[in-house]
Structure 1
């Protein structure tokens, strides 16, 4: 059974309050000093020595004072020890309180993010195009704020672009009201998809900041139908994955102009380029892999004018060029591997006019020119010519 129960405010672990503790030590110190003084000074009948002279009494007084001083030191040590213990206990209480507040804030913030996510996802599923557009922007804004859920938000946006989509065609004079409504709906849908791709481009255009920007994330557009989007000046940094495998470029303008491929991964394997204009004007390929393996170029324009290839690998292995235009005018190949191995050129020319082959490897091994031509007019530098 405890003789002293600490009050509610005393959480330092001591049974006695500090004042009582110090008072007890002082009382013992003073009582001991007084007892020794009476015994050694001869003021009591019972003394340890008799006939003490003044010098001896002075020495006794010095001893008593030394004892009192020692006990006083014990008092100050006790005070210091108790203050330290009380300070540590208060600090632990503050730390625990801060941790509880941080945990509460984290739970509240997580709840807020999930509510925003649910609201944006619901908007993206609306039948009204303007609501879906608002949902796309809301999801992008949430991705900006929510580091832990950024990839999930990106997945939702990319999933929307991957959904089945029929681009709006040309209307003729025989179009009826139903045709007009379908065309209007397809046009509105194209604008939403364009907005999402433009948003991705805008976020990748910013300077990379870890845990703040969209760099270092995966953008899965596998199989998407893409007929518009501005990805110009994007920075494809290490860890960034832009997957456009089996994507269809059927019309409109898609820009990678002045994009910097410096360590991430961009893939177009088995993609279909059947229309529109896909431009890599002034793009820089200085690291990472860019793959067009098994891609089919049957229409439209895919161009790399003034692009710089100084590192990494760009692959057109087993690609099929049966139509459209693929050109590299003024491109600079100074330290990269560009492979057209096994590619088939059956209907269109591939132009490297005014290009510079100053380093790296450009290979056409096993390429089949059954209808198209390889144009190398006006090449500015043959230091490392293509290999056949």
Structure 2
């Protein structure tokens, strides 16, 4: 809205110096005119510019009267100027007051606009949160429907449908992880593990060429197809627990990190697994207690932060002999109690980093700990362990942590080698057991000049 002002308010003021000069000249002219006017009145003659005939008293009276009138007029002018100044001040104050009022109104409008914008933003955020919740609920609903369908597929009598169910569950577990639902992801993994725990591989007793009892698959019972399903389940677990590498920007070096399922729990207690391949996997927690591991079982180059094999059986599969491999594995908590090892067992290059127990385990075939490392932070116990008639080797093994052989029966193995074994911690063994050892590198006493056992 435009405010209209009077012309007097909008006219340009004249400079003050001109007003002062003009006023002084006007005052001087007026004073002179009044002086002559009063002097002519007392003389009785007009327009006489020479006042030589006037008395001093007449001149004085004329001058006094003129000065008085000029003073009165000057006071009037001063009063007029004061009035104009006051009026100008009041107009300025009015203008300032109006400006302040407009500014206040503008501020009020801006405040209201800001409040409206804030309310709009809050409403938008609430709508966004509501939309996200609705999307999350819809996503969860869809994933749960997929879970139901996948579990139904696993129960199918068709080999192909069961395979599809496994892949569907694996993809579903990955999707649960993507939306940060680890418990739901664990449920999918538990179902896969439960399937592996179900004894649906038909097996039958047989004997190998040497007359030793072995287990073979009953192909007539449909073991070939089921074997493929279970091999697929193991492969799915392997792929998702294998380390991943990032894509570095040169010259940076690629860094490896755990697989997406490595921190999950794998309960495979009592499972029957044929040729289980967990090579190069990382497990935070895997339980194979009482499991039947048939054929070749591999944990080579794996990182096993906690693995339980209590009561597990490693058996051969048909005529081709199987094996159990922990070659190059890194073992933190390793529970190997009451294990029946009916195939060769390899701990070549294995790192025992924390605790390992081999209580009451039974080995019938060759066992190799060649180049294994029992680290200083580790503690290994072999209580009531029985070794069979094949050889046991600890060649190039490094013993820096305590290893107790005092309760191990070494009477059956024909050869027990410790060639070039080293380490700062002498394994504990009875004198009777040590009579069966070859190339034992330690003496009974340590060298006084070194912390390591004296080499022979």
TM range (shorter): 0.7 to 0.9
Match of 1:317 in 2: 359
Is the Cα contact below 8 Å between 1:167 and 1:187 reproduced in 2?
no
Per-residue deviation, residues 231-264 of structure 1 (Å, max 9, x unmatched):
100123xxx2101111112x32221111123xx3
Q: Relative to 1, partners in 2 of residues 1:271 and 1:189: Cα closer, same or farther, differing over 3 Å? A: same
User: Does the CA contact (< 8 Å) of 1:227 and 1:253 recur in 2?
Assistant: yes
Any idea what the Cα deviations from partners look like across 1:289-343, whole Å, max 9, x if unmatched?
A: 011022222x11221122233x21121123233x233321222323353524322
C-alpha displacement at 1:61, in angstroms?
A: 0.4
Residue 367 of structure 1 and its aligned partner are, at CA, apart by: 2.5
Structure 2 residues without counterparts, runs of 5 or longer: 10-78, 208-216, 245-255, 317-321, 430-456
Asked if residue 363 in structure 1 is aligned to residue 404 in structure 2, the reply is yes
Give 1:346 shift. 5.2
Q: Which residue of 2 aligns with 1:42?
A: none
Supply the distance in 1 between the matched residues of 2:257 and 2:374 (Cα, whole angstroms).
30
Question: Highest relative contact order (Cα 8 Å, sep 6+), 1 or 2?
Answer: 1
Is this contact kept in 2: 1:359–1:384, CA < 8 A?
Answer: yes
Q: Is the 8 A contact 1:331 1:352 kept in 2?
A: no
Report 1:167-246 matches (<5 A): 167-169=202-204, 183=220, 185-207=222-244, 213-236=260-283, 240-246=284-290
Partner of 1:44: none
In 2, are the aligned partners of 1:317 and 1:339 still within 8 Å (CA)? no
Shift in Å, 1:358: 4.1
**Distance across 1 between alignment mates of 2:218 and 2:395:** 48
Is contact 2:280–2:302 with CA below 8 Å preserved after alignment? yes
Normalised to the residue count of structure 2, the TM-score between the two structures is 0.65
Deviation at 1:114, TM superposition (A): 1.0
Matches of 1:193 and 1:355, distance apart in 2: 38
Given candidates 144, 163, 173, the residue that maps to 2:198 is 163
Deviation at 1:202, TM superposition (A): 1.2
Q: Residue 171 and residue 373 in structure 1: after superposition, are their counterparts in 2 closer, same or farther (change >3 A)?
A: closer
Aligned length: 327
Tell me: CA distance 1:313–1:242, structure 2 relative to 1, closer, same or farther (3 Å).
same
Q: 1:202 and 1:350, CA in 2 relative to 1: closer, same or farther beyond 3 A?
A: farther
1:350 CA drift (Å):
5.9
The 3-state SS of whatever aligns with 1:368 is coil
Match of 1:71 in 2: 101
- 1:270 matched to which residue of 2? 311
> Which secondary structure does the structure 2 equivalent of 1:53 belong to?
helix
Which has the higher mean CA deviation after the structures are superposed, 182-191 or 81-90? 182-191
Residue 168 of structure 2 corresponds to residue 138 of structure 1? yes
Report the CA distance shift for 1:60/1:350 in structure 2 as closer, same or farther (over 3 A).
farther
Given that residues 345 and 372 in structure 1 are in contact (C-alpha distance below 8 angstroms), is that contact kept between their aligned partners in structure 2? no
Match of 2:346 among 303, 308, 313: 303
Once the two structures are overlaid, the 10-residue window that deviates more, 332-341 or 152-161, is 332-341
Rounded Cα–Cα distance in structure 2 between residues aligned with 1:354 and 1:256: 21
Is 2:154 aligned against 1:124? yes
| Higher alpha-carbon Rg | 2
Seen in structure 2, the aligned counterparts of structure 1 residues 129 and 334 have a Cα distance that, compared at 3 Å, is same
SS in 1 for 2:407: coil
- Counterpart CA distance in 1 for 2:205 and 2:358 is 33
Post-superposition offset of 1:373: 5.9
Cα distance in 2 for partners of 1:374, 1:245 equals 30
| Alpha-carbon distance in structure 2 between the residues aligned to 1:99 and 1:106 | 10
Q: 1:192 to 1:349 in 2, by over 3 A?
A: same
- The CA distance in 1 between the partners of 2:202 and 2:303, in whole Å, is 29
**Correspondence for 1:341:** 382
Q: Which deviations, in whole Å up to 9, do the C-alpha atoms of 1:261-293 show, x marking residues without a partner? A: 3xx3111012122333121122223xx301102
CA–CA distance in structure 2, aligned partners of residues 370 and 244 of structure 1 = 30
Q: Secondary structure at the match of 1:265?
A: strand
- 8 A Cα contact 2:390 2:415, kept in partner: yes
